[in-house]
Structure 1
Amino acid sequence: MKLHFLAIISLIAFTDLYAQEYYFPDLNANWEQRAAKSFKINDLSLQEAVAFAEANEYSGSRDLRIAILKGFEKEPFHKILGPTKKRGGPAGMILKNGYIVAQWGDTKRVDMTFSVTKSFLSTMAGLAEDEGLITDTKDAVGDYIWDGTFDGAHNSKITWEHLLQQNSAWSGELWGGKDWADRPPSKGGIDDWKLATPKEPGTVMEYNDVRVNVLAYSLTHVWRKPMPLVLKEKIMDKIGASSTWRWFGYDDAWTVIDGLKMKSVTGGGHSGAGIFISAEDMARFGLLFLNNGTWKNERLISDAWIKKATTPSKPNVNYGYMWWLNKKGDRHWEGLSENIYYAAGFGGNFIVIDKENDVVVVTRWLEPSKIGEFMTKVNAAF
């Protein structure tokens, strides 16, 4: 009995020793920094990772209108439909337990973030489910949006989960974009792609911004208010984000709800628009997810939602609810935890959540093909 009691005491002491208490920066306060060695992090290895990020800048033009048009030049009818902004140079932050242990570049500069926006949009769906506006993501979207967007034998099958996992195969046109013209396959003729029978919802992931924007449109009608307002009130103000971030839609993407004209935002920026944000505000968002949806002592996102959002979809083990997952698949970073998940955007924008190391990594304008190597270098420092 005595030995059993001592074992319990030892277990409690061990748990207390390794229990992590996160630091959360206050609004408009200087973000506290800690020396890498205070967390037993190899400072030399950490600086090597930072130097790697600085030396491997995204190769596309800093004039993002040029980079966008070049990057999607094979897409039929592609054009800029919303705001763009010239970008800065490489920048980023590495947080350990919420403290800054490394940073580089201008972390306060506001830049486009492209498909990192999708992880913010996914969170708007999570808040809708948490508040009961959506009963369950497996519900048919047509049960909530009855204006014709989800009419027909095919589109009526689509659920919120299908939209969130990008396997909806929604068929139609929104804000001048045709689903079949968005990111067509590199092989085969356009007519083959255009005239093909839509795939069964839930069976094949297709990265498609028209369908993502259908999700944004649908959530705007469920919330009955613009998505930037929901994000600001429910998340960004509460985590002490700056007043500099913006979430844009296409120039003509207007809808009317309750007699009020509202802008429907985009989930990315490959035709312009999306979220324009600083690295510091991205890091705050990442820290919220590192702490499973709680900021300080206030729960903002349910733990149940984060588990759903980071569960692999059947068609793609590396994709959840608009978060990329480091599972063993086509996008696996070898040698790194399979529990890592991340937001990723055109031009090398990333928010990486590494729960096992209590780490958030934000990196901007890193050559996208170098992210795995960069994260391996970061991991080596721990």
Structure 2
Amino acid sequence: MKIFKRIVIAIIIVIAIALAFNYSKLNIISGYAAKNMASSVFIADRTPASIDKNDNNIPTIKLASTEVDYIHKTASSSVFGFMERKVIYRQGLGSVLVNDSYDYSKKYLRPRRQISGNNLPFPYGDNGKKDTVFGNVDYQKLQKAINKAFSDPEIKKTRTVLVAYKNEIIAEQYADGFTHKTPILGWSMTKSILATLYGVLEHQGKLELNDFAPVAEWGKDERKNITLNHLLRMQSGLVWAEDYTKISDVTKMLFMESDMTQSQRLKKAIAKPKEIWNYSSGTSNLLSGLLHHYVTKNQEYLDFPYQSLIDKIGMHSMVIETDMENNFVGSSYAWANTRDWAKFGLLYLNNGQWQGEQLFSKDWVTYITTPTVESDGTYGAHFWLNAEGKYPDVPRDLYSANGYEGQYVFIIPSKELVIVRTGLAEDPIFDINEFISEVIATIK
């Protein structure tokens, strides 16, 4: 009996030491679990069991226990009862991690959506897809390529695939539990949505890319020379640590900050603009906050992405979640179904034109696909590139919106293709070069 007690005491001591050593990390663990659960349940209409089994079943995050309150639309997570975090779902604004300062009685503004249905087929309406058969497409071979993307589901973890050729869907497939209506979290694909808003503002004549960033406190030090172009290209020279495996700038911002637009704004410069390239989600959320400079009223700020871009092209399933201060989390939190993500790619394939209206200029497409200095040809302006042949068997003109865990919208102008793939595994576990090249090979 004494031996048993000693073993129990030893185990308790080990657990106590582990908790003490990792206590600060519990904020991130329970915060991630609660946030992912709430958004997946209340936006994507998925079950908590499915989210626990798949989305939150990753190292450390799976230590959290999460409960969902459907009546009040909340989710709460904790790790062995410690560091409970709560998330509240707000219609039109998505789910938000809250802290003790959150005002439950406050009336929050919501985006005014312009959603109107029509009988047009994809991509200009919601009446399904055309039955067009292209003579130069080997559909049997294409289906084999897509089936391969869904093979080894425990490893590749593909959820959805859509291939659009010449503005029409020629193939799409969904894993069990997902349909063409299921919203998917884009993670950093949201950055490309955010950047496009700046392309729209530029086309409207409301800004120039070489304008200095409208940050008053930067005017007093070396940061005064940072331009919008530097921010869009992630070459501001500001310090930032983008590491999701530990407590870093990005995890503190996403899971601990009430105003995510301030995280990068307050950082010091470690280099002059253009001297270094440093991928930063904080920069994207800074840009999200700077939209207030061009769209000054709070209601107009919330309406702007939807009225100028999202609802304009019929991406009616899209929701960009906001932080506690109602700023769009432009780095990470846009949700949309697979067909709507494809519409975004087609807008770029058509050089910013949608049903006769030019939303941004063709020069903007050239801008975002021009390689950024020091990025080794892999990054433009909030879009990823294949300019230096990262994917050797894929055309060099491919560019894409990429997101954590393998969310992709690939645009290939030379092949008139847009390919969307979503899932829970990214390159190289899910082999992008092989997948894209095999899809392209089906078109003669």
Q: Same fold judged by TM-score > 0.5?
A: yes
1:138 to 195, 210, 221: 210
**1:122 partner letter:** A
Would the aligned equivalents of 1:53 and 1:90 in 2 still touch at CA under 8 Å?
Answer: no
Show the counterpart of 2:407: 349
Structure-2 change in CA distance of 1:220 and 1:196 (3 Å):
closer
Q: What is the 5 A alignment of 1:27-46?
A: 27-35=125-133, 38-46=134-142
Show the counterpart of 2:238: 170
Query: CA deviation digits over 1:103-154, x for unaligned, max 9?
Result: 00122201211000011001011111111221x211211xx332x2x34423
Q: What is the 5 A alignment of 1:154-165?
A: 154-165=222-233
**2:196 partner letter:** T
Would the aligned equivalents of 1:353 and 1:361 in 2 still touch at CA under 8 Å?
Answer: yes
Show the counterpart of 1:376: 437
SS in 1 for 2:171: strand
Cα separation, 2, equivalents of 1:290 and 1:363: 17
Query: CA deviation digits over 1:151-177, x for unaligned, max 9?
Result: 44232121101110111133599xxxx
Structure-2 change in CA distance of 1:47 and 1:248 (3 Å):
same
Would the aligned equivalents of 1:294 and 1:300 in 2 still touch at CA under 8 Å?
Answer: yes
Show the counterpart of 2:273: 201
Shift of 1:227: 5.2
1:264 to 306, 327, 348: 327
Would the aligned equivalents of 1:162 and 1:201 in 2 still touch at CA under 8 Å?
Answer: yes
Structure-2 change in CA distance of 1:281 and 1:58 (3 Å):
farther
Cα separation, 1, equivalents of 2:359 and 2:127: 21
Cα separation, 1, equivalents of 2:348 and 2:237: 29
Shift of 1:199: 2.1
Structure-2 change in CA distance of 1:25 and 1:220 (3 Å):
same
Structure-2 change in CA distance of 1:238 and 1:182 (3 Å):
closer
**1:381 partner letter:** T
What TM-score do you get using the length of structure 1 for normalisation?
Answer: 0.71
Equivalent pairs counted in the alignment come to 294
Cα separation, 2, equivalents of 1:54 and 1:234: 35
**2:249 partner letter:** A
Q: What is the 5 A alignment of 1:25-174?
A: 25-35=123-133, 38-55=134-151, 57=153, 90-105=159-174, 106-134=179-207, 136-141=208-213, 144-146=214-216, 148=217, 150-170=218-238
Structure-2 change in CA distance of 1:375 and 1:215 (3 Å):
same
Would the aligned equivalents of 1:157 and 1:201 in 2 still touch at CA under 8 Å?
Answer: yes
Q: Where does structure 1 lack aligned partners over 5 or more consecutive residues?
A: 1-22, 63-88, 174-178, 185-194, 255-262
Cα separation, 2, equivalents of 1:333 and 1:308: 21
Q: Where does structure 2 lack aligned partners over 5 or more consecutive residues?
A: 1-120, 242-246, 253-266
Structure-2 change in CA distance of 1:367 and 1:56 (3 Å):
farther
What TM-score do you get using the length of structure 2 for normalisation?
Answer: 0.61
Would the aligned equivalents of 1:220 and 1:227 in 2 still touch at CA under 8 Å?
Answer: yes
1:234 to 305, 308, 321: 308
Shift of 1:180: 7.0
Q: What is the 5 A alignment of 1:218-229?
A: 218-224=290-296, 225=298, 228-229=302-303
2:419 to 353, 361, 370: 361
Cα separation, 2, equivalents of 1:376 and 1:203: 34
Residue identity (%): 25
Cα separation, 1, equivalents of 2:269 and 2:223: 12
Shift of 1:26: 3.1
Show the counterpart of 2:288: 216
**2:169 partner letter:** I
Structure-2 change in CA distance of 1:217 and 1:171 (3 Å):
farther
Structure-2 change in CA distance of 1:57 and 1:304 (3 Å):
farther
Pair 1:319-2:319 in alignment: no
RMSD over aligned Cα atoms: 2.7
Cα separation, 2, equivalents of 1:366 and 1:52: 16
Cα separation, 2, equivalents of 1:53 and 1:266: 30
Cα separation, 1, equivalents of 2:301 and 2:130: 31
Would the aligned equivalents of 1:183 and 1:208 in 2 still touch at CA under 8 Å?
Answer: no
Would the aligned equivalents of 2:240 and 2:278 in 1 still touch at CA under 8 Å?
Answer: no
1:294 to 353, 361, 365: 353
Structure-2 change in CA distance of 1:334 and 1:374 (3 Å):
same
